[in-house]
Amino acid sequence: MSNITVNGKTYSTGQQDPAMPLLWFLRDILHMTGTKFGCGMGLCGACTVHLNGDAVRACLLPLSAAAGGKITTIEGLSAAGDHPLQQAWAEHKVPQCGYCQAGQIMNAAALLSRNASPTDAEIDAAMAGNICRCGTYPRIKAAITSAAKKSTAGVQMFDPAEQGAV
Ligand code: FES
Ligand code: FES
Protein backbone atom coordinates (compact mmCIF):
# COMPACT_ATOMS: atom_id res chain seq x y z
CA MET A 1 0.00 0.00 0.00
CA SER A 2 1.22 3.48 -0.84
CA ASN A 3 0.31 6.76 0.74
CA ILE A 4 0.25 10.26 -0.58
CA THR A 5 -0.03 13.43 1.47
CA VAL A 6 -2.24 16.13 -0.03
CA ASN A 7 -2.51 19.47 1.75
CA GLY A 8 -1.31 17.91 4.98
CA LYS A 9 -3.67 14.93 4.99
CA THR A 10 -2.50 11.42 4.11
CA TYR A 11 -4.45 9.20 1.72
CA SER A 12 -3.93 5.62 0.61
CA THR A 13 -3.36 5.13 -3.10
CA GLY A 14 -3.25 1.35 -2.71
CA GLN A 15 -6.47 0.62 -4.59
CA GLN A 16 -5.56 2.78 -7.56
CA ASP A 17 -3.62 2.01 -10.71
CA PRO A 18 -0.08 3.26 -9.98
CA ALA A 19 0.01 4.66 -13.52
CA MET A 20 -3.02 6.88 -12.85
CA PRO A 21 -2.07 10.53 -13.28
CA LEU A 22 -2.05 12.46 -10.03
CA LEU A 23 -4.55 14.87 -11.60
CA TRP A 24 -7.14 12.09 -11.87
CA PHE A 25 -6.59 11.15 -8.24
CA LEU A 26 -6.97 14.75 -7.06
CA ARG A 27 -10.08 15.54 -9.08
CA ASP A 28 -11.94 12.23 -9.36
CA ILE A 29 -10.99 10.45 -6.13
CA LEU A 30 -10.40 13.31 -3.69
CA HIS A 31 -12.81 15.70 -5.45
CA MET A 32 -10.34 18.55 -5.22
CA THR A 33 -11.36 20.28 -8.42
CA GLY A 34 -9.31 23.45 -8.01
CA THR A 35 -6.58 21.83 -10.07
CA LYS A 36 -7.67 21.93 -13.70
CA PHE A 37 -7.39 19.60 -16.67
CA GLY A 38 -6.27 21.46 -19.75
CA CYS A 39 -4.22 19.59 -22.32
CA GLY A 40 -3.37 16.41 -20.42
CA MET A 41 0.00 16.47 -22.15
CA GLY A 42 2.17 18.69 -19.98
CA LEU A 43 1.82 21.62 -22.36
CA CYS A 44 -0.45 24.16 -20.65
CA GLY A 45 0.25 24.18 -16.91
CA ALA A 46 -3.42 24.24 -15.85
CA CYS A 47 -2.79 21.18 -13.66
CA THR A 48 0.23 22.57 -11.79
CA VAL A 49 0.58 21.50 -8.15
CA HIS A 50 3.56 21.19 -5.82
CA LEU A 51 5.41 17.98 -5.07
CA ASN A 52 7.68 18.55 -2.09
CA GLY A 53 7.59 22.27 -2.86
CA ASP A 54 8.41 22.01 -6.55
CA ALA A 55 5.91 22.82 -9.30
CA VAL A 56 4.89 19.69 -11.21
CA ARG A 57 2.35 18.84 -13.89
CA ALA A 58 -0.25 16.63 -12.25
CA CYS A 59 -1.47 15.36 -15.63
CA LEU A 60 1.89 13.74 -16.29
CA LEU A 61 2.86 12.58 -12.82
CA PRO A 62 1.82 8.98 -12.13
CA LEU A 63 0.63 8.15 -8.63
CA SER A 64 3.62 5.83 -8.28
CA ALA A 65 5.93 8.85 -8.61
CA ALA A 66 3.93 10.97 -6.18
CA ALA A 67 3.64 8.25 -3.53
CA GLY A 68 5.39 9.15 -0.33
CA GLY A 69 5.58 12.79 -1.34
CA LYS A 70 3.89 15.93 -0.08
CA ILE A 71 1.46 17.40 -2.57
CA THR A 72 0.07 20.90 -2.23
CA THR A 73 -2.84 22.00 -4.39
CA ILE A 74 -4.46 25.41 -4.74
CA GLU A 75 -6.87 24.35 -1.98
CA GLY A 76 -3.95 23.96 0.42
CA LEU A 77 -1.77 26.88 -0.61
CA SER A 78 -2.95 28.99 2.31
CA ALA A 79 -5.19 28.29 5.28
CA ALA A 80 -7.54 31.17 4.52
CA GLY A 81 -6.98 31.60 0.80
CA ASP A 82 -4.86 34.65 1.49
CA HIS A 83 -1.43 33.64 0.28
CA PRO A 84 0.39 36.81 -0.85
CA LEU A 85 -0.06 35.73 -4.45
CA GLN A 86 -3.79 35.17 -3.98
CA GLN A 87 -4.04 38.66 -2.47
CA ALA A 88 -2.06 40.12 -5.37
CA TRP A 89 -4.23 38.22 -7.86
CA ALA A 90 -7.28 39.89 -6.36
CA GLU A 91 -5.68 43.33 -6.20
CA HIS A 92 -4.66 43.16 -9.86
CA LYS A 93 -7.93 41.53 -10.94
CA VAL A 94 -5.90 38.93 -12.80
CA PRO A 95 -8.42 36.24 -13.82
CA GLN A 96 -10.61 36.51 -16.88
CA CYS A 97 -12.31 33.14 -17.35
CA GLY A 98 -10.13 31.86 -14.51
CA TYR A 99 -9.51 28.39 -15.89
CA CYS A 100 -5.72 28.60 -15.98
CA GLN A 101 -5.30 30.62 -12.81
CA ALA A 102 -4.86 27.91 -10.18
CA GLY A 103 -1.98 26.53 -12.20
CA GLN A 104 -0.57 30.00 -12.71
CA ILE A 105 -0.66 30.74 -8.97
CA MET A 106 0.87 27.40 -8.03
CA ASN A 107 3.70 27.88 -10.49
CA ALA A 108 4.27 31.43 -9.27
CA ALA A 109 4.23 30.24 -5.63
CA ALA A 110 6.95 27.70 -6.38
CA LEU A 111 8.97 30.45 -8.04
CA LEU A 112 8.69 32.83 -5.06
CA SER A 113 9.45 30.09 -2.56
CA ARG A 114 12.85 29.56 -4.16
CA ASN A 115 13.42 33.14 -5.35
CA ALA A 116 11.68 35.82 -3.29
CA SER A 117 12.76 38.68 -5.56
CA PRO A 118 12.72 37.43 -9.14
CA THR A 119 13.75 39.70 -11.98
CA ASP A 120 11.39 40.31 -14.89
CA ALA A 121 13.38 37.80 -16.94
CA GLU A 122 13.21 35.22 -14.16
CA ILE A 123 9.44 35.64 -13.92
CA ASP A 124 9.12 35.30 -17.69
CA ALA A 125 11.27 32.18 -17.72
CA ALA A 126 9.48 30.54 -14.80
CA MET A 127 5.98 31.29 -16.11
CA ALA A 128 6.63 30.60 -19.80
CA GLY A 129 5.04 27.15 -19.72
CA ASN A 130 1.73 28.27 -18.21
CA ILE A 131 -0.69 29.10 -20.98
CA CYS A 132 -3.59 31.55 -20.62
CA ARG A 133 -5.94 31.57 -23.57
CA CYS A 134 -7.52 34.78 -22.24
CA GLY A 135 -4.17 36.57 -22.43
CA THR A 136 -3.92 37.73 -18.83
CA TYR A 137 -0.12 37.58 -18.92
CA PRO A 138 0.51 41.28 -18.12
CA ARG A 139 -1.69 41.11 -15.01
CA ILE A 140 -0.12 37.81 -13.93
CA LYS A 141 3.32 39.37 -14.13
CA ALA A 142 2.21 42.51 -12.30
CA ALA A 143 0.69 40.41 -9.51
CA ILE A 144 3.81 38.29 -9.09
CA THR A 145 5.97 41.42 -8.98
CA SER A 146 3.64 43.01 -6.44
CA ALA A 147 3.59 39.93 -4.20
CA ALA A 148 7.37 39.66 -4.34
CA LYS A 149 7.80 43.32 -3.32
CA LYS A 150 5.41 42.96 -0.38
CA SER A 151 6.98 39.71 0.82
CA THR A 152 10.38 41.08 1.62
CA ALA A 153 11.14 38.21 3.97
CA GLY A 154 10.18 35.69 1.33
CA VAL A 155 6.87 34.01 0.76
CA GLN A 156 6.15 31.51 3.47
CA MET A 157 4.45 28.37 2.24
CA PHE A 158 1.50 27.22 4.26
CA ASP A 159 1.97 23.73 5.64
CA PRO A 160 -1.35 22.36 6.93
CA ALA A 161 0.48 19.63 8.84
CA GLU A 162 2.16 22.28 10.97
CA GLN A 163 -1.07 24.19 11.54
CA GLY A 164 -2.99 21.34 13.15
CA ALA A 165 -5.23 20.98 10.11
CA VAL A 166 -4.55 17.27 9.64
S1 FES B 1 -3.33 19.65 -18.16
FE2 FES B 1 -1.35 19.27 -17.40
S3 FES B 1 -0.05 20.59 -18.50
FE4 FES B 1 -2.01 20.83 -19.46
S1 FES C 1 -7.95 33.42 -17.47
FE2 FES C 1 -8.92 32.27 -19.06
S3 FES C 1 -7.41 30.83 -19.63
FE4 FES C 1 -6.37 32.15 -18.29
- Is there a single domain that holds both residue 70 and residue 107? no
How far apart are the C-alpha atoms of 77 and 108, rounded to whole Å? 11
Q: What percent of the chain has pLDDT over 70?
A: 90
- Is there a single domain that holds both residue 72 and residue 105? no
> Residue 139 maps to which CATH number?
1.10.150.120
With respect to residue 157, please indicate whether it lies within any of the assigned structural domains: no
Could you tell me if 132 and 100 are in contact, meaning their C-beta atoms sit under 8 angstroms apart?
yes
> Residue 36 maps to which CATH number?
3.10.20.30
The domain total for the chain is 2
* 116, 122, 128, 134 alpha-carbon torsion, rounded to 10°: 70
Q: What pLDDT was estimated at residue 151? A: 76
* Residues in Cβ contact with 128 at an 8 Å cutoff, skipping those fewer than 6 apart: none
Q: What pLDDT was estimated at residue 14? A: 85
pLDDT digits (tens, 9 = 90+) for 129-165: 999 999 999 999 999 999 999 875 445 555 655 554 4
Our answer on whether the CB atom of 45 is closer than 6 Å to any ligand 1 atom is yes
What's the CA-to-centroid distance between 132 and ligand 2, angstroms?
Answer: 5
Q: What pLDDT was estimated at residue 156? A: 54
Our answer on whether the CB atom of 98 is closer than 6 Å to any ligand 2 atom is yes
**Which ligand lies nearest the alpha carbon of 59?**
1
Our answer on whether the CB atom of 136 is closer than 6 Å to any ligand 2 atom is yes
* Residues in Cβ contact with 24 at an 8 Å cutoff, skipping those fewer than 6 apart: none
Q: Which residues of the chain have pLDDT under 70?
A: 1, 152-166
Our answer on whether the CB atom of 105 is closer than 6 Å to any ligand 2 atom is no
